[in-house]
Amino acid sequence: MRFLTLLALSVGMAVHAMAWDLSEHPAATGEWGYRPMNGATASINPPPFTWRPENNAVAYNLEVAADADFAALVHVVEKTRWSAHCPDKPLPHGRYFWRYRAWNETGAPSNWSSVRRFDVPDGLTIYPMPPLSELLKRIPAEHPRLFFRPEQVAHLRELAGDALADQWQKLLERANALLANPPDTSEPPKYPEGTEHKGEQWRKIWWGNRVHAINVTDAAATLAFVYRLTGEDNYGAAARDLIMAFCEWDPKGSTNYTYNDEAAMPLLYYPSRAYTWAYDAFSPEDRNRIKEVMAVRGTDCFNHLRNHLWRPYGSHSNRAWHWLGEVATAFYDEIADAPAWLEFSMTVFYTCYPVWGGADGGWHEGQAYWSSYLSRFMYWAMVMDSIYGINAFDKPFFKKAGDFGMYTCPPRTKTGAFGDQAILSDSMRIASFMGLMAAAANNPHWQWYAEQHGDVGPGGYFGFLVSAQGRGCVAQPPAALPSSCVFGDVGLAVLNTNLLDGTDNIQVHFKSSPYGRQSHGYNANNAFLLNLRGERALIRSGRRDIHGSPHHQKWMWETKSDNAILVNGAGQYPHTHQALGKITHFYTSEELDVVTGEAGESYRHLERWTRRILFFKPDVILIHDVLTASEPSTYQWLLHAQTPFTLGNRDISWKGAQGRLDIHFLKPASLVFSQTDEFDVPPHKWAFSLEEWHFTAATQKPETKMDFVTLIRVDNTTVQTAIEENDSGGTTVSLARPDENMTVYLGEHEFRVNTRATSKTFTAP
């Protein structure tokens, strides 16, 4: 016995000696970080946990306790392969502590991590993640397994013959057209040797292969859906033929994930839908071949996403994970790794999605990518709801997500938002998506928005399934809501005079983002946009010919393309999280909106750039810029428009079809004006021609401190202006309308505004 005791002691000491230290250095740019952070207050219950992954780790332990000594454990994860975890039960409100450790390939545990403290207040949204074992139990044993369950097929058939007969008829017409004229199933080509990367030929193949892949596999999914509801063999056989032709494509070839992810991603979800809906139309040999192909494609996608839980800011990855979830759901008992893919996808959703926004519903990547990515997410939202009983719209972000579209793009607004490709977005384009979210969230304002555009919902099998859910709400205009809004989590303020009608709206967008200028939200911090009656007036300049092109990188990603400020001719850190901004003040009322942003950290040699915008609704905008540089510098104040400015001595004007702007530079006294319609790097000639004008108001004498005071009048509104320098170093601006006098004091560390209805002081934080 003594020998066994000594042996056990020596083994225990050996294991302890083998313990190793974790890599707990702070999160770098592009990393999600330790969550909950030490001292954080949770915003959802239970809070999700994330920690730095270890290169040699095969599993992790997590402990959550009510005391720092971990004697009162409240949640324990013995082994998880992921460096993130969401508990399956909420925590009672109170103070907690958490730590983790890792296990390496030899079975040796690391030392425990640092202990981090967090608080869970009462009243939070309860949103636990079901464990994998429970998720697997919820998937039907039989097919179909995506969007609807076997027991729902009979009800869908009833709707097709009755309440949804019109939609069903359109779907049948589409399926019959595919029977008569099936798509080309030839394998998409690779890039010929010598193809210029990002050039015209490259783009045609890159995007053309995506379109080709969708044509084949979405056709198969449509036919499979019709087969499932009709039971008619011709639809099932046609779906089978398309999927088997797709299976002849080399999954490591032109549609491989690393070769062309835009072509690869549709080949995750469309075949999965076709497989589960037309399951009976495939022979056992067919199914084995499909499983082989989908296992390769799923593995390639998962390998690309493997580090997504810690580095979740990759734009394309933020839709790939839920496409992988569809594969995992359809093949959960047929592909060996599918359960792991399912757990991974759900862990992404519960711990780090959405990555681009918070509880106020904003979206860092801008209006176009907001609608593009979240409309794709709606497929997964339906899968989660119908198969797993999880309502995505119970999550705080989704309860507010539609506000982003409603405020940035009121009805009949053509365009004019920040973010990549926003020029292509308008209120009509997002109306159907707003209707989808309205139904899911039961939000009457979003439903009203959709109805303003005559939205009847999406088409195809997805539209049929949306209608079959029968969810909806009575539309209500947002007349009682403030017309302006701030999305503080992403650093965007939108100032409107009319939230109900874009054609009668004067609108200011202002960005100063803690996300910086990364990904598709690359516009400069403290930049602003001005839209008149639903159309662009003072714009963000440039238009993407192809992502990553010289024009995209060297013009649009640079500060010179925005209504912002250059220092010594140089802009902010381009296209990076390093360029940090923050909205420090926001105030809204019927007559006055105020927003302030700080963007000094966005520049290499700038200690401070505070931009204050005071919008005296509906037609007077006062902008105050306060800058401090680390060395004497010159400053260039920029504007952009689609037509030229008329330049004066201390003022300029601009006129477009939608209205007129008069812009007065009240301070500093000596500025040199210039404008050009040239781009340093224009778009590719094969893409399109682009005419825009770029105005600069430049200081001449290098100074460490500078402030600009600029007044914008809309449509010749009458405003008498007086400016006075104060002994304190501040500036008083007096504005006189025919029926009102307004006074603004602009100091270095505070500003005050007095109007007939408002008297407020704003102090620098």
- Name the band, by pLDDT with cuts 50, 70 and 90, for residue 457: confident
| Tokens of residue 340, six digits | 């792991």
Q: Write the CA distances from 426 to 432, 564, 716, integer angstroms.
A: 12, 24, 27
Of 594, 584, 603, the residue nearest 517 (C-alpha): 603
**Structural contact between residues 634 and 700, judged by C-beta atoms closer than 8 angstroms:** yes
- What is the arithmetic mean of pLDDT over 553-577? 98
Residues near 538 by beta carbon (within 8 Å), at least 6 away in sequence: 528, 529, 530, 563, 639, 640, 641, 654, 661
Say if residue 488's pLDDT is above 50: yes
Residues near 548 by beta carbon (within 8 Å), at least 6 away in sequence: 198
476: number of Cβ within 10 Å: 13
| For helices 338-352 and 317-330, angle between their N-to-C axes, nearest 10 degrees | 140
Count Cβ atoms within 10 A of the Cβ of residue 410 and give its class: 0-12 exposed, 13-18 middle, 19 or more buried.
buried
Say what the pLDDT of residue 471 is.
Answer: 75
- DSSP code string of 213-246: HHHHHHHHHHHHHHHHHH--HHHHHHHHHHHHHH
329: number of Cβ within 10 Å: 27
Say what the pLDDT of residue 185 is.
Answer: 98
- Name the band, by pLDDT with cuts 50, 70 and 90, for residue 2: very low
Say what the pLDDT of residue 530 is.
Answer: 98
| Tokens of residue 238, six digits | 């046609």
- Name the band, by pLDDT with cuts 50, 70 and 90, for residue 15: very low
Q: Write the CA distances from 256 to 262, 299, 326, 720, integer angstroms.
A: 10, 11, 18, 64
Q: What is the pLDDT of residues 264-281, one digit of tens each?
A: 999 999 999 999 999 999
**Number of helices followed by number of strands (H, E) in the chain:** 17, 29
- Name the band, by pLDDT with cuts 50, 70 and 90, for residue 489: very high
Laid out side by side, the sheet with 40-41 consists of 40-41, 116-120, 94-104, 57-65, 73-80
Residues near 712 by beta carbon (within 8 Å), at least 6 away in sequence: 530, 620, 621, 622, 623, 661, 662, 663, 664
Residues near 378 by beta carbon (within 8 Å), at least 6 away in sequence: 433, 436, 437, 440
Q: Which residue has the tokens 């013959």?
A: 161
Say what the pLDDT of residue 709 is.
Answer: 98
Q: Write the CA distances from 273 to 10, 213, 416, 466, 755, integer angstroms.
A: 56, 14, 37, 16, 60
- Name the band, by pLDDT with cuts 50, 70 and 90, for residue 12: very low
| Tokens of residue 728, six digits | 């304190």
Say if residue 737's pLDDT is above 90: yes
**Which amino acid does the sequence have at 248?**
E
- Name the band, by pLDDT with cuts 50, 70 and 90, for residue 53: very high
**Average pLDDT taken over every residue of the chain:** 95
Say what the pLDDT of residue 89 is.
Answer: 98
- What is the arithmetic mean of pLDDT over 19-25? 94
**Structural contact between residues 721 and 651, judged by C-beta atoms closer than 8 angstroms:** no
- What is the arithmetic mean of pLDDT over 106-119? 97
- The C-alpha atoms of residue 565 and residue 563 are separated, in whole angstroms, by 7
3-class secondary structure, 286: helix
Residues near 294 by beta carbon (within 8 Å), at least 6 away in sequence: 268, 271, 272, 275, 327, 331, 335
| Tokens of residue 522, six digits | 């690359």
Element (DSSP H or E) covering residue 725 = strand 720-725
Q: Which residue has the tokens 């230290």?
A: 21
- The C-alpha atoms of residue 748 and residue 765 are separated, in whole angstroms, by 12
Say if residue 9's pLDDT is above 80: no
Say what the pLDDT of residue 5 is.
Answer: 41
**Structural contact between residues 182 and 238, judged by C-beta atoms closer than 8 angstroms:** yes
What percent helix, strand, coil does the chain show, rounded to 5? 35, 25, 40
**Which amino acid does the sequence have at 526?**
N
- Name the band, by pLDDT with cuts 50, 70 and 90, for residue 127: very high
Query: What is the Cβ-side half-sphere exposure of residue 138, based on CA atoms within 13 angstroms?
Result: 18
Say if residue 88's pLDDT is above 70: yes
DSSP label at residue 312: T
- The C-alpha atoms of residue 456 and residue 445 are separated, in whole angstroms, by 16
Q: What is the pLDDT of residues 387-418, one digit of tens each?
A: 999 999 999 999 999 999 999 999 999 999 99
Residues near 47 by beta carbon (within 8 Å), at least 6 away in sequence: 35, 36, 40, 91, 118, 120
Angle at 383 between CA 379 and CA 387, to 5 degrees: 170
- What is the arithmetic mean of pLDDT over 10-16? 42
Q: Write the CA distances from 224 to 229, 231, 244, 287, 448, integer angstroms.
A: 9, 10, 13, 14, 34
**Structural contact between residues 140 and 387, judged by C-beta atoms closer than 8 angstroms:** yes
Q: What is the pLDDT of residues 404-453, one digit of tens each?
A: 999 999 999 999 999 999 999 999 999 999 999 999 999 999 999 999 99
Q: Give how far the C-alpha of residue 724 lies from the chain's centroid of Cα atoms, to the nearest Å.
A: 44
**Structural contact between residues 543 and 533, judged by C-beta atoms closer than 8 angstroms:** no
- What is the arithmetic mean of pLDDT over 505-521? 97
Say if residue 470's pLDDT is above 90: no
The pTM for the full model equals 0.95
Q: What is the pLDDT of residues 356-395, one digit of tens each?
A: 999 999 999 999 999 999 999 999 999 999 999 999 999 9
Q: Give how far the C-alpha of residue 311 lies from the chain's centroid of Cα atoms, to the nearest Å.
A: 15
**Structural contact between residues 229 and 153, judged by C-beta atoms closer than 8 angstroms:** yes
Q: What is the pLDDT of residues 205-240, one digit of tens each?
A: 999 999 999 999 999 999 999 999 999 999 999 999
Q: What is the pLDDT of residues 26-46, one digit of tens each?
A: 999 899 999 999 999 999 999
